[in-house]
Homo-oligomer: A and B are copies of this chain.
Amino acid sequence: MGSLRSQISISLDGYAAGPEQSVENPIGIGGMRLHEWVFATRSWRAQHGQEGGEDGVDSDIAARASEGVGAVIMGRRMFGGGEGEWDLAWKGWWGDEPPFRVPVFVLTHHPREPLEMDGGTSFTFVTDGVESALSQAREAAGEQDVMVAGGASAIQQYLAAGLLDELQLHIAPVLLGGGERLLENVGDPRLEPVEVVGSPAATHVTYRVL
């Protein structure tokens, strides 16, 4: 059985999204600044079908983020399509060929039939909680790792439940001054930094949850 990992970009003042999040702008005001480091990398651009980009520490980190990942879990807001009943025309933010290329399990309160997308991604909608999503994801992943892709609330739930093995933070040198905090409502987990690398664009710290 693989590990349960997560990785997410946060501001130096601890926000995973900026203020005034909405269905149309789930990342909040200024939230895109958290991700500038990754959008600039060659590896992220290649994963998303774009050319160019920069090599270096940040590109290496972005490339490794999906290595060894056999299934993904994400929250409803990260999949998008509003908070209530489904508009079945909505198939996520990523177009017909999402970049995950593995089974994705979406935490939601609203049932929906699974979606098969191009390029190996499927979306399965899980309404019976984080542990159910995890066991379904583990079965899909086999010996590989499961990645909690976000958002903050999904990561909080797995961390608070003591289920997360590894959390990698991409700390952007940005202050948002408000928004959705990542590290609250998670109790007092024992964390050990096991890798630290940095660039002018972000500081990447990997914590093992003991």
Q: A residues touching B (Cβ–Cβ < 8 Å)?
A: 12-14, 169, 171, 173-175, 177, 181, 183-184, 186-189, 191-200, 202-203, 205, 207
Contact = CB atoms under 8 A, between A and B. Distances in A.
A174 to B, nearest CB: 7
Copies of this chain, tallied across the complex? 2
A193 B177 CA distance: 19
Contact of A184 (B13, B193, B196, B200): B13
Given A13-B14, A13-B183, A191 B174 contact: yes
Contacts of A196: 196-198, 203
A157 to B, nearest CB: 15
Nearest to A195: B198
B12 A191 contact: yes
B188 A193 contact: no
Given A177-B187, A196-B197, 12 more contacts: A12-B169, A12-B191, A14-B14, A14-B183, A173-B193, A173-B207, A177-B184, A193-B198, A193-B199, A196-B203, A198-B205, A203-B203
